[in-house]
Amino acid sequence: MREFKGRVVAPGTVSAPALVSHGGLNTLASFQKAVQFGDKQATCGDQNNPDLYSKKMKGTALCLPQTIGSTTGGLVLYAAASMDRTPACLLFSKPIDSLAAAGSILISVWLDGINMPVIDSLGEEFLDYVKDGMMISVGADGRVIVE
């Protein structure tokens, strides 16, 4: 078991199995099947991300360095959340980018009953340690426990 501390971007608590990407998450490519084509498990459609491609993202603790790609990123996160097709939480090793931050904040403010905690600045050591399937618990204070 290991504990990491980051900055709270969107508050909440959750426990979920880890899904790890060592490359940036292209939000539009990753969630396109979920938002446009009805994939309720949010299967990653980004062929350029070998860590996530074809894996189910819904309900996971999605661990990643940052998001990349289109300026639609924030809106795509919001749309996926409004359809109940998002990870349980987003955990960033680096400081969050403005588009992912915007989407995360929209979710926490505009969607009643949707809880998707977002923690950033967890450090490179976090991504080196966590592996797919490890259980992660996110605390309201930005603590992330990996078991």
Tokens of 9: 């971007």
Query: Mind listing the pLDDT tens digit for each residue in 125-137?
Result: 999 999 999 999 9
Find the mean pLDDT for residues 18-45: 97
Query: Mind listing the pLDDT tens digit for each residue in 50-100?
Result: 999 999 999 999 999 999 988 999 999 999 999 999 999 999 999 999 999
Tokens of 11: 């508050």
Q: What pLDDT is recorded for position 125?
A: 98
Tokens of 3: 């504990």
Euclidean distance between CA atoms 28 and 133, whole angstroms: 24
Domain count, the chain: 1
Q: What pLDDT is recorded for position 69?
A: 87
Percent of the chain residues topping a pLDDT of 90: 97
Domain of residue 75: give its range. 2-146
Percent of the chain residues topping a pLDDT of 70: 100
Is 118 in contact with 7 (CB distance < 8 Å)?
no
Q: What pLDDT is recorded for position 131?
A: 98
Task: Give the model's confidence band at 143: pLDDT under 50 very low, under 70 low, under 90 confident, else very high.
Answer: very high
CATH (domain of 35): 3.50.30.10
Between the CA of residue 27 and those of 20, 46, 75, 128, what are the distances in Å? 15, 9, 9, 22
Residue 120, pLDDT > 90, answer yes
Tokens of 137: 């618990």
In 3D space, the residue among 122, 91, 115 whose CA is nearest the CA of residue 25 turns out to be 91
Q: What pLDDT is recorded for position 70?
A: 83
Nearest-Å Rg of the Cα atoms of the chain is: 13
